[in-house]
Protein backbone atom coordinates (compact mmCIF):
# COMPACT_ATOMS: atom_id res chain seq x y z
CA UNK A 1 0.00 0.00 0.00
CA UNK A 2 2.75 2.45 0.88
CA UNK A 3 4.47 1.76 -2.44
CA UNK A 4 1.20 2.51 -4.23
CA UNK A 5 0.79 5.79 -2.33
CA UNK A 6 4.38 6.76 -3.16
CA UNK A 7 3.71 5.97 -6.81
CA UNK A 8 0.58 8.15 -6.83
CA UNK A 9 2.51 11.07 -5.34
CA UNK A 10 5.10 10.53 -8.07
CA UNK A 11 2.44 10.76 -10.80
CA UNK A 12 0.88 7.29 -11.13
CA UNK A 13 -2.82 7.40 -12.05
CA UNK A 14 -4.82 5.09 -9.81
CA UNK A 15 -6.86 2.36 -11.46
CA UNK A 16 -10.37 1.61 -10.25
CA UNK A 17 -9.27 -1.62 -8.56
CA UNK A 18 -6.40 0.14 -6.78
CA UNK A 19 -8.73 2.90 -5.57
CA UNK A 20 -11.28 0.34 -4.35
CA UNK A 21 -8.52 -1.45 -2.44
CA UNK A 22 -7.57 1.79 -0.70
CA UNK A 23 -11.19 2.49 0.22
CA UNK A 24 -11.41 -0.91 1.93
CA UNK A 25 -8.41 -0.34 4.21
CA UNK A 26 -9.00 -0.59 7.97
CA UNK A 27 -6.82 0.21 10.96
CA UNK A 28 -4.04 2.78 11.23
CA UNK A 29 -3.28 2.51 7.50
CA UNK A 30 -6.31 4.76 7.01
CA UNK A 31 -4.17 7.62 8.30
CA UNK A 32 -1.36 6.79 5.86
CA UNK A 33 -3.81 7.21 2.99
CA UNK A 34 -5.10 10.45 4.50
CA UNK A 35 -1.52 11.72 4.87
CA UNK A 36 -0.76 10.98 1.23
CA UNK A 37 -3.92 12.79 0.16
CA UNK A 38 -3.02 15.74 2.36
CA UNK A 39 0.44 15.92 0.78
CA UNK A 40 -1.11 15.93 -2.69
CA UNK A 41 -3.57 18.61 -1.61
CA UNK A 42 -0.72 20.83 -0.42
CA UNK A 43 1.14 20.27 -3.68
CA UNK A 44 -1.92 21.23 -5.74
CA UNK A 45 -3.46 24.14 -3.85
CA UNK A 46 -1.12 25.06 -1.01
CA UNK A 47 -2.27 25.75 2.54
CA UNK A 48 -5.46 27.64 1.78
CA UNK A 49 -8.93 26.63 2.94
CA UNK A 50 -11.58 28.26 0.79
CA UNK A 51 -15.28 28.97 1.21
CA UNK A 52 -18.00 30.76 -0.73
CA UNK A 53 -20.43 33.21 0.84
CA UNK A 54 -23.69 31.85 -0.51
CA UNK A 55 -27.31 31.35 0.39
CA UNK A 56 -29.56 28.42 -0.40
CA UNK A 57 -33.07 29.33 -1.49
CA UNK A 58 -35.62 26.54 -1.44
CA UNK A 59 -38.30 27.18 -4.06
CA UNK A 60 -40.52 24.12 -3.62
CA UNK A 61 -40.41 20.71 -1.98
CA UNK A 62 -42.95 19.24 -4.41
CA UNK A 63 -41.07 16.66 -6.45
CA UNK A 64 -41.75 14.08 -9.13
CA UNK A 65 -38.86 11.90 -7.94
CA UNK A 66 -39.50 11.23 -4.24
CA UNK A 67 -36.18 9.42 -3.91
CA UNK A 68 -35.77 6.94 -1.07
CA UNK A 69 -32.74 8.76 0.35
CA UNK A 70 -34.58 12.10 0.60
CA UNK A 71 -37.14 13.26 3.15
CA UNK A 72 -37.43 16.76 1.67
CA UNK A 73 -39.60 15.95 -1.36
CA UNK A 74 -43.41 15.94 -1.07
CA UNK A 75 -46.36 15.16 -3.30
CA UNK A 76 -48.81 17.80 -4.47
CA UNK A 77 -51.44 18.11 -1.76
CA UNK A 78 -49.26 16.83 1.08
CA UNK A 79 -49.77 18.92 4.26
CA UNK A 80 -46.10 19.99 4.31
CA UNK A 81 -45.84 20.75 0.60
CA UNK A 82 -44.95 24.31 -0.42
CA UNK A 83 -44.19 26.22 -3.60
CA UNK A 84 -42.96 29.80 -3.34
CA UNK A 85 -44.35 32.36 -5.73
CA UNK A 86 -42.33 35.09 -7.42
CA UNK A 87 -42.79 37.58 -4.57
CA UNK A 88 -41.61 35.13 -1.90
CA UNK A 89 -38.60 34.18 -4.02
CA UNK A 90 -37.62 37.82 -4.59
CA UNK A 91 -37.91 38.49 -0.86
CA UNK A 92 -35.43 35.68 -0.15
CA UNK A 93 -33.06 36.92 -2.86
CA UNK A 94 -33.11 40.42 -1.40
CA UNK A 95 -32.25 38.93 1.98
CA UNK A 96 -29.31 37.14 0.36
CA UNK A 97 -28.10 40.38 -1.21
CA UNK A 98 -28.22 42.08 2.21
CA UNK A 99 -25.96 39.29 3.47
CA UNK A 100 -23.35 40.15 0.82
CA UNK A 101 -23.41 36.76 -0.84
CA UNK A 102 -21.64 36.12 -4.13
CA UNK A 103 -23.73 33.06 -4.94
CA UNK A 104 -27.40 32.18 -4.75
CA UNK A 105 -28.05 28.46 -4.83
CA UNK A 106 -31.61 27.66 -5.96
CA UNK A 107 -32.70 24.31 -4.55
CA UNK A 108 -35.96 22.69 -5.38
CA UNK A 109 -37.83 19.51 -5.84
CA UNK A 110 -38.41 18.69 -9.50
CA UNK A 111 -41.97 19.95 -9.61
CA UNK A 112 -44.08 17.76 -11.94
CA UNK A 113 -45.75 20.83 -13.47
CA UNK A 114 -42.58 22.82 -14.11
CA UNK A 115 -41.62 23.49 -17.73
CA UNK A 116 -38.58 25.16 -19.21
CA UNK A 117 -40.43 28.48 -18.93
CA UNK A 118 -40.86 27.89 -15.19
CA UNK A 119 -37.09 27.63 -14.75
CA UNK A 120 -36.40 30.55 -17.10
CA UNK A 121 -38.82 32.76 -15.17
CA UNK A 122 -37.33 31.68 -11.84
CA UNK A 123 -33.73 32.33 -12.84
CA UNK A 124 -34.73 35.54 -14.58
CA UNK A 125 -36.40 37.04 -11.52
CA UNK A 126 -33.35 36.22 -9.37
CA UNK A 127 -31.04 37.76 -11.96
CA UNK A 128 -33.12 40.95 -12.04
CA UNK A 129 -32.81 41.41 -8.28
CA UNK A 130 -29.21 40.25 -7.94
CA UNK A 131 -27.39 40.61 -11.28
CA UNK A 132 -24.00 40.55 -9.55
CA UNK A 133 -24.33 37.10 -7.96
CA UNK A 134 -23.67 33.71 -9.49
CA UNK A 135 -26.96 31.83 -9.86
CA UNK A 136 -25.97 28.26 -9.11
CA UNK A 137 -28.83 25.93 -10.01
CA UNK A 138 -30.40 23.43 -12.45
CA UNK A 139 -29.20 19.87 -11.96
CA UNK A 140 -28.97 17.67 -15.07
CA UNK A 141 -32.17 15.93 -13.94
CA UNK A 142 -34.01 19.27 -13.80
CA UNK A 143 -32.71 20.20 -17.26
CA UNK A 144 -33.78 16.84 -18.68
CA UNK A 145 -37.26 17.29 -17.19
CA UNK A 146 -37.65 20.90 -18.30
CA UNK A 147 -36.57 20.04 -21.85
CA UNK A 148 -38.98 17.09 -22.01
CA UNK A 149 -41.88 19.14 -20.64
CA UNK A 150 -41.32 21.88 -23.23
CA UNK A 151 -40.44 19.64 -26.18
CA UNK A 152 -36.96 21.01 -26.77
CA UNK A 153 -33.46 19.55 -26.69
CA UNK A 154 -31.42 19.72 -23.52
CA UNK A 155 -28.88 21.88 -25.34
CA UNK A 156 -31.60 24.41 -26.18
CA UNK A 157 -32.78 24.28 -22.57
CA UNK A 158 -29.26 25.06 -21.32
CA UNK A 159 -29.00 27.99 -23.74
CA UNK A 160 -32.33 29.40 -22.53
CA UNK A 161 -31.31 29.07 -18.88
CA UNK A 162 -28.00 30.83 -19.53
CA UNK A 163 -29.78 33.66 -21.35
CA UNK A 164 -32.03 34.04 -18.29
CA UNK A 165 -29.02 34.41 -15.98
CA UNK A 166 -27.76 30.93 -15.06
CA UNK A 167 -24.17 31.21 -13.82
CA UNK A 168 -23.01 27.72 -12.92
CA UNK A 169 -24.67 24.32 -13.02
CA UNK A 170 -25.34 22.14 -10.00
CA UNK A 171 -23.67 18.77 -10.43
CA UNK A 172 -26.33 17.24 -8.20
CA UNK A 173 -28.82 14.45 -9.00
CA UNK A 174 -25.70 12.35 -9.55
CA UNK A 175 -25.92 10.36 -6.30
CA UNK A 176 -24.11 7.24 -7.60
CA UNK A 177 -23.60 7.10 -11.36
CA UNK A 178 -24.25 3.36 -11.58
CA UNK A 179 -27.68 2.55 -12.99
CA UNK A 180 -28.21 -0.60 -10.90
CA UNK A 181 -27.82 1.52 -7.76
CA UNK A 182 -29.95 4.34 -9.18
CA UNK A 183 -32.82 1.91 -9.70
CA UNK A 184 -32.81 1.34 -5.93
CA UNK A 185 -32.18 4.82 -4.56
CA UNK A 186 -33.59 7.21 -7.21
CA UNK A 187 -35.46 5.26 -9.92
CA UNK A 188 -37.35 8.31 -11.26
CA UNK A 189 -34.23 10.38 -11.90
CA UNK A 190 -32.41 10.49 -15.22
CA UNK A 191 -30.02 7.63 -15.92
CA UNK A 192 -26.23 7.85 -15.87
CA UNK A 193 -25.86 8.39 -19.63
CA UNK A 194 -28.30 11.33 -19.57
CA UNK A 195 -26.59 12.92 -16.57
CA UNK A 196 -23.19 12.63 -18.25
CA UNK A 197 -24.46 13.97 -21.60
CA UNK A 198 -26.08 17.07 -20.08
CA UNK A 199 -23.04 17.92 -17.97
CA UNK A 200 -20.82 17.65 -21.03
CA UNK A 201 -23.20 19.84 -23.03
CA UNK A 202 -23.03 22.54 -20.36
CA UNK A 203 -19.25 22.32 -20.07
CA UNK A 204 -18.81 22.64 -23.84
CA UNK A 205 -20.85 25.84 -23.70
CA UNK A 206 -18.48 27.25 -21.09
CA UNK A 207 -20.84 26.67 -18.16
CA UNK A 208 -18.92 25.16 -15.28
CA UNK A 209 -20.41 22.85 -12.67
CA UNK A 210 -19.74 21.09 -9.44
CA UNK A 211 -19.42 17.31 -9.32
CA UNK A 212 -21.09 15.42 -6.49
CA UNK A 213 -21.20 11.93 -5.05
CA UNK A 214 -23.70 10.77 -2.44
CA UNK A 215 -22.21 7.80 -0.63
CA UNK A 216 -23.18 5.62 2.31
CA UNK A 217 -26.55 4.31 1.11
CA UNK A 218 -27.09 1.22 -1.06
CA UNK A 219 -23.86 1.28 -3.08
CA UNK A 220 -20.66 -0.76 -2.79
CA UNK A 221 -17.10 0.54 -2.60
CA UNK A 222 -16.70 -0.50 -6.24
CA UNK A 223 -19.76 1.60 -7.14
CA UNK A 224 -18.22 4.63 -5.45
CA UNK A 225 -15.02 4.23 -7.43
CA UNK A 226 -16.93 3.67 -10.70
CA UNK A 227 -18.72 6.95 -10.02
CA UNK A 228 -15.42 8.76 -9.44
CA UNK A 229 -14.10 7.22 -12.65
CA UNK A 230 -17.06 8.61 -14.63
CA UNK A 231 -16.30 12.05 -13.22
CA UNK A 232 -12.59 11.72 -14.03
CA UNK A 233 -13.41 10.76 -17.61
CA UNK A 234 -15.67 13.80 -18.02
CA UNK A 235 -13.01 16.08 -16.55
CA UNK A 236 -10.41 14.64 -18.92
CA UNK A 237 -12.67 15.61 -21.81
CA UNK A 238 -14.11 18.97 -20.71
CA UNK A 239 -12.22 20.33 -17.69
CA UNK A 240 -15.51 21.90 -16.62
CA UNK A 241 -15.84 20.69 -13.02
CA UNK A 242 -14.92 23.24 -10.36
CA UNK A 243 -14.66 20.72 -7.52
CA UNK A 244 -15.87 17.41 -6.14
CA UNK A 245 -18.50 17.68 -3.40
CA UNK A 246 -18.78 14.40 -1.44
CA UNK A 247 -22.19 14.17 0.24
CA UNK A 248 -22.39 11.68 3.09
CA UNK A 249 -25.85 10.07 3.15
CA UNK A 250 -27.98 11.28 6.06
CA UNK A 251 -30.22 8.34 6.90
CA UNK A 252 -32.36 9.14 9.93
CA UNK A 253 -35.64 10.20 8.32
CA UNK A 254 -35.38 8.49 4.94
CA UNK A 255 -37.52 5.74 3.43
CA UNK A 256 -34.44 3.95 2.13
CA UNK A 257 -33.21 3.37 5.68
CA UNK A 258 -36.63 2.60 7.15
CA UNK A 259 -37.19 -0.09 4.51
CA UNK A 260 -33.85 -1.72 5.28
CA UNK A 261 -32.36 -0.92 1.88
CA UNK A 262 -29.51 1.18 3.24
CA UNK A 263 -27.32 1.20 6.37
CA UNK A 264 -27.18 4.06 8.87
CA UNK A 265 -24.98 6.14 6.57
CA UNK A 266 -21.22 6.05 6.14
CA UNK A 267 -18.90 5.54 9.10
CA UNK A 268 -16.15 7.99 10.01
CA UNK A 269 -13.59 5.66 8.42
CA UNK A 270 -15.58 5.66 5.19
CA UNK A 271 -15.84 9.45 5.25
CA UNK A 272 -12.08 9.88 5.64
CA UNK A 273 -11.29 7.34 2.94
CA UNK A 274 -13.80 8.81 0.50
CA UNK A 275 -12.20 12.26 0.87
CA UNK A 276 -8.66 10.90 0.67
CA UNK A 277 -9.08 8.43 -2.16
CA UNK A 278 -11.06 10.98 -4.16
CA UNK A 279 -8.10 13.37 -3.86
CA UNK A 280 -5.68 10.65 -4.95
CA UNK A 281 -7.89 9.28 -7.75
CA UNK A 282 -9.15 12.55 -9.23
CA UNK A 283 -5.80 13.80 -10.44
CA UNK A 284 -7.52 16.26 -12.78
CA UNK A 285 -9.51 18.00 -10.01
CA UNK A 286 -7.97 20.86 -8.04
CA UNK A 287 -10.55 21.06 -5.27
CA UNK A 288 -12.22 18.61 -2.89
CA UNK A 289 -14.98 20.17 -0.83
CA UNK A 290 -15.76 18.92 2.67
CA UNK A 291 -19.47 19.41 3.29
CA UNK A 292 -19.71 20.44 6.93
CA UNK A 293 -23.51 20.21 6.73
CA UNK A 294 -23.27 16.49 6.03
CA UNK A 295 -20.44 15.42 8.36
CA UNK A 296 -20.42 18.15 11.02
CA UNK A 297 -17.72 20.77 11.71
CA UNK A 298 -15.37 18.43 13.60
CA UNK A 299 -15.30 15.74 10.91
CA UNK A 300 -15.05 18.53 8.34
CA UNK A 301 -11.79 19.61 9.97
CA UNK A 302 -10.51 16.03 9.75
CA UNK A 303 -11.53 16.01 6.10
CA UNK A 304 -9.30 19.04 5.55
CA UNK A 305 -6.43 16.85 6.82
CA UNK A 306 -7.40 14.06 4.40
CA UNK A 307 -7.20 15.81 1.06
CA UNK A 308 -9.92 18.45 1.38
CA UNK A 309 -9.26 22.13 0.74
CA UNK A 310 -12.72 23.73 0.63
CA UNK A 311 -15.47 24.11 3.24
CA UNK A 312 -18.27 24.88 0.81
CA UNK A 313 -20.64 27.71 1.61
CA UNK A 314 -22.28 29.61 4.43
CA UNK A 315 -25.66 28.40 3.02
CA UNK A 316 -27.76 30.10 5.75
CA UNK A 317 -30.34 27.33 5.32
CA UNK A 318 -30.32 23.71 4.17
CA UNK A 319 -33.77 22.21 4.52
CA UNK A 320 -32.74 19.14 2.53
CA UNK A 321 -30.13 18.08 5.10
CA UNK A 322 -32.15 19.19 8.11
CA UNK A 323 -35.24 17.19 7.13
CA UNK A 324 -33.05 14.11 6.67
CA UNK A 325 -31.75 14.48 10.23
CA UNK A 326 -28.71 16.73 9.84
CA UNK A 327 -28.83 18.92 12.93
CA UNK A 328 -27.03 22.26 12.62
CA UNK A 329 -26.67 21.85 8.86
CA UNK A 330 -28.07 25.24 7.95
CA UNK A 331 -25.32 27.82 8.67
CA UNK A 332 -21.64 27.92 9.50
CA UNK A 333 -20.22 31.32 10.41
CA UNK A 334 -17.00 32.21 8.54
CA UNK A 335 -15.48 33.03 11.95
CA UNK A 336 -15.94 29.38 12.92
CA UNK A 337 -14.55 28.30 9.55
CA UNK A 338 -11.47 30.39 10.29
CA UNK A 339 -11.09 28.77 13.71
CA UNK A 340 -11.24 25.35 12.04
CA UNK A 341 -8.65 26.33 9.43
CA UNK A 342 -6.21 28.13 11.73
CA UNK A 343 -6.29 25.25 14.21
CA UNK A 344 -4.67 22.99 11.58
CA UNK A 345 -2.21 25.60 10.35
CA UNK A 346 -4.12 26.75 7.29
CA UNK A 347 -5.43 30.10 6.04
CA UNK A 348 -9.11 30.71 5.31
CA UNK A 349 -9.86 32.59 2.08
CA UNK A 350 -13.21 33.62 0.63
CA UNK A 351 -13.73 32.55 -2.99
CA UNK A 352 -16.22 32.92 -5.80
CA UNK A 353 -18.22 30.00 -7.16
CA UNK A 354 -15.49 29.30 -9.72
CA UNK A 355 -12.64 29.71 -7.19
CA UNK A 356 -11.61 33.28 -7.89
CA UNK A 357 -10.52 35.31 -4.85
CA UNK A 358 -12.92 37.69 -3.13
Identify whether the C-beta of residue 57 lies closer than 8 Å to the C-beta of residue 89.
Answer: yes
- Rounded Cα distance, 271 and 241, in Å: 21
Identify whether the C-beta of residue 106 lies closer than 8 Å to the C-beta of residue 169.
Answer: no
- Confirm or deny that 69 is annotated as ligand binding: yes
- Reported in sequence order, the residue ranges of the chain that DSSP labels E, i.e. its strands, are 48-52, 54-58, 103-107, 134-137, 166-169, 209-215, 241-248, 310-313, 347-351
- Rounded Cα distance, 308 and 15, in Å: 21
Beta bridge mates, 348 = 49
Identify whether the C-beta of residue 319 lies closer than 8 Å to the C-beta of residue 61.
Answer: yes
User: What is the 8-class DSSP label of residue 357?
Assistant: B
Q: What are phi and psi of 247, to 5 degrees?
A: -120, 105
- Confirm or deny that 63 is annotated as ligand binding: yes
- Confirm or deny that 317 is annotated as ligand binding: no
Which residue positions form the known binding site for (3R)-3-methyl-D-ornithine?
139, 291
Which residue positions form the known binding site for [4Fe-4S] cluster?
63, 67, 70
Which residue positions form the known binding site for S-adenosyl-L-methionine?
69, 175
Which residue positions form the known binding site?
63, 67, 69-70, 139, 175, 291
Amino acid sequence: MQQLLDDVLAGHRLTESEAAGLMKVRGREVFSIAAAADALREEKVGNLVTYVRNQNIHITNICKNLCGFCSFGKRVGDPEAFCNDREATIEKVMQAVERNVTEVCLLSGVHPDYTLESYVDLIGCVHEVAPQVDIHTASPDEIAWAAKQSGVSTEEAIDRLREAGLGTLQGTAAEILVDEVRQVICPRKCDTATWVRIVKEAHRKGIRSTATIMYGSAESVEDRVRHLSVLREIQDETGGFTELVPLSYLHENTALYRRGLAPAGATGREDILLFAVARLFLDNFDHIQISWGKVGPKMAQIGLLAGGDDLGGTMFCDDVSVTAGGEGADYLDPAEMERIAVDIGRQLVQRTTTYGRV
